[in-house]
Structure formats: C-alpha cells, structure tokens
Chain A
Amino acid sequence: MNVNDARIILAEAQSCFQDLNLTLVNESEKLDYSCCSNYLQFRSWISKNNKLAEIQIFIFIENDIIQLSTCFCEDYDDSITRRLLEFINGINYHLSDSYWILYSAVGKFEYRTVQVITEDSFDKDIFKEVIKEYLENGPYDYEYIRRIMQSNEDLDTLLNEWLNSISIDEM
C-alpha cells in the first residue's frame, strides 16, 4: 500500500470512531522510522469502571495491516508479575482474534487486535463491528486481570470463571 492509500484508510478509520461516538485525540505519521515499519496513527480513549485506557490505531504501510491497541496502566507489586503473566498466557491461549501483552517494566497492559487491509478491501461497516467487539472485550478481560492485582485468587479458578463467562456470551 502506498502512503496516500494509507491516508485515505486512516481518514475512514477515524470516521468509524466518530460514528461510534469515540473521541479522536491526535494524528501522526512516522515515515522515516529507523527500525520498524512506517506507520500512520491516531489516538482515542475510553473510560470504563473508573479506569481510563488509551486506544492507538496504527496503519503499518508496508505490511498492509491496521492495528488496534488499548493500553491500561497500573501500579502493582513486582512479586505478582509471574501470576499476571501466567494469567495473560492462559487468556491468550483461549483468544484467537486478539491478545494481551504485559510490559512489566512500566506496568502497562496492552490489548491488541490486527486486521489485514488493502486499499480496496477496507470496509467501514466491518471495521465498526471489529471496533465494537474489541472495545467490549478489552475492558471486560482487564477486570479479571485487575482482580489478580487486588486479591490472591487462585489462577485456575479465575481463568475458568473468565472462560465460562465468555463461552456463555458466545452461545
């Protein structure tokens, strides 16, 4: 994809966010990145359960992909990093269209999903459905991650509870 096509898709992605009443924060382009793909991006945010999360939308030009990343930040004790990572791995094992990453050095949790796009295959209606599902699932999963920080619950029990809840939703 060339940069002009990517700019058109970025504008369409922004209009999807506006249609869903989500705030647009800013827009930037990184076209001379030294170690990664060139990208275009804009930001948004959501607030749920008294928790603010930043959403970043990237279009990686050479890779023909659009990435949605929601970042939740939290202060937590280093001693629970292992429990957090084990739980995140457990969730990731059951997720197929999105995944969680923990940046333990900065206390940041990223929820990510990626869609393949080409200039003639970006469909706004599909993308809006993806955004809606993504913004529903991320904060929902994060509540379970927060419970690990707040209590000493058994990981298997918590994972089963999460799994049963999403399985019921899917039925």
Chain B
Amino acid sequence: MCDKNIECENILKSFKSCLNEMDRPVLDPFVNNGSGRITTQFNILEVSVFIEITYSSYSKRAEIKINSSLSMDDFDTFIVIQILNTINGELMDIGHICADPYCEDIFLQTSIDFSIQSFDWARMLFLLKRFTHQGYKCFLMLREIAQMDQCPFEVLAEYLARYKDFDKKQNTTLH
C-alpha cells in the first residue's frame, strides 16, 4: 500500500508542478489507499472553473475533469446535448464535453493511461494547457448561449465561425 501511495503522490506532484507552471496554485495532493486527487479553482469572466485531477495506482490512469458554475437549466435537455454533441464534433480533440445524465452538470474530461507510458513533463504540460484552453472556450461559449435571447443554435454557429477564424489568425487552431 505504501508503494502505491508513493507512486500516486509522485504522479500528482508532477501534475501539480505543471499546474503551478500555468500559474494555477494547487494544494498538496490528498492520497489514500493508492488513489488521490489535486484540485484548483479560478474565475474567468464571472464563470467559476474547477479542475480536478485524480490518479489511481491500481488502474494507473489519471483522469482530468473540468467543470464550472455555469448552469444550462433553462434549456431542454435535448437542446443541451445537441449543443454538446456539436461542440465535441467541431472543437474538441484531447478531451470531450458531456452532461452528467443524472444532474445535468456539464464537464470536460480526458484521461492519461500510465500503464503504457511514463510521465513526460513537457507532454503533460502541453496536454493540460490545451485541455484547459478548450475548457475556457467551451464554457465561455455556453455562457454566451445561456445569456442570449437568440436561438441557441444560431449563437453556437456564430461562435464556432468566429472562434475558428480567430484561432486561424492566432495560429492556435483547434481543428
């Protein structure tokens, strides 16, 4: 058990140093029975964003979840999942967005399998930066959709067009 806890702590500390590099302060990992997690929270334009990284020494898998304070409760579930499905098809790559089928909270999630690869700091930093960048974009887009009186699919189409054009100019494209 002790070895499992040490392995878990080491992986989470490496993720912590990546998040620190991104100016996201993280408390020390909480580790118990070979599993553990680290969390960080910050605000972007009135939206509170929460990142959680969990790791299990048994499955050797790290899971990264981003969720926010954003609510889409005013919309029918079918509309929300159509929007999320479109975002997954048009914007997402490393991770994906989905709604909790039981409480309808919206998450972005991805995972890394350390049973087939070792922790490569530069690669994990790149992955975290890209994934959180996608998270900001998605939650800002959803906030815009939630706040506008327009048809949500029109807002989504406009946002996607604008986003792709902007990213092309910035050369930080999401395909």
- Shortest Cβ distance from A68 into chain B, in angstroms? 11
Q: Is A5 among interface residues, defined by CB-CB distance under 8 A?
A: no
**Does B78 have its Cβ within 8 Å of any Cβ on chain A?**
yes
Contact A86 B77 (CB under 8 A): yes
A93/B173 in contact, CB under 8 A: no
A89 engages B84 (CB within 8 Å): yes
Chain B at the A interface: SS class: mixed
Interface: B164 (CB within 8 A): yes
Give the most central of A95, A101, A129: most B CB within 10 Å.
A101
A37 adjacent to chain B (CB < 8 Å): yes
| Residues A85 and B111 in contact in the complex (CB < 8 Å), given A36-B173, A159-B101 | no
Q: Of residues B98, B109, B117, B130, which shows the largest number of chain A Cβ atoms within 10 Å of its Cβ?
A: B98
Per-residue contact bits, chain B 55-87, to A (CB 8 Å; 1 contact, 0 not): 000010101000000000000011001101100
Of the candidates A37, A86, A170, the one whose C-beta lies within 8 Å of that of B101 is A86
Judged by a CB distance under 8 angstroms, whether A123 is at the interface is: yes
B127 partner, pick from A58, A67, A103, A116, beta carbons under 8 A:
A116
**Number of cross-chain contacts by CB at 8 Å:** 94
- A114: interface (CB < 8 Å): yes
Query: Is B93 a contact partner of A114 (Cβ separation < 8 A)?
Result: yes
> What residues on A are CB-neighbors of B96 within 8 Å?
92, 95, 99, 112
Q: How far is the CB of B113 from chain A (nearest CB, A)?
A: 7
Q: Does B132 contact A (CB under 8 A)?
A: no
| Interface membership of chain B positions 114-126, coded 1 if the CB is closer than 8 angstroms to chain A and 0 otherwise | 0011001011001
Provide the B83-105 mask, 1 if CB < 8 A to any CB of A, else 0. 01100110011101011110000
Chain B: interface size category: 35 or more
Please measure, in the bound complex, the distance between the C-alpha atom of A103 and the C-alpha atom of B110, giving whole angstroms. 22
**A102 CA to B77 CA, complexed, in Å:** 16
Q: Is the CB of A89 within 8 A of B93?
A: no
Interface SS of chain A: helix, strand, loop or mixed?
Answer: mixed
Interface presence of A154 (CB below 8 A): no
User: In the complex the two chains form, is B101's CB within 8 Å of A118's CB?
Assistant: no
- For window 72-116 of A, CB contacts with B under 8 Å fall at 82, 85-86, 88-90, 92-93, 95-97, 99, 101-103, 110, 112, 114, 116
- B42 CB to closest chain A CB, in angstroms? 22
Q: Which of A37, A86, A129 contacts B175 (CB 8 A)?
A: A37
Q: Does B174 contact A (CB under 8 A)?
A: yes
Residues of chain A within 8 A (CB-CB) of B63 are 96
Point out residues on B near A: beta carbons under 8 Å: 59, 61, 63, 77-78, 81-82, 84-85, 88-89, 92-94, 96, 98-101, 107, 109-113, 116-117, 120, 122-123, 126-127, 130, 164-165, 168, 171-175
Binding site for B on A (CB under 8 A): 35-37, 39, 58, 60, 62-65, 67, 82, 85-86, 88-90, 92-93, 95-97, 99, 101-103, 110, 112, 114, 116, 118, 121, 123, 125-126, 129-130, 159, 170
Which 6 pairs, one residue from A and one from B, show the smallest C-beta to C-beta distance? Answer: A96-B111, A99-B96, A92-B98, A101-B89, A37-B175, A36-B175
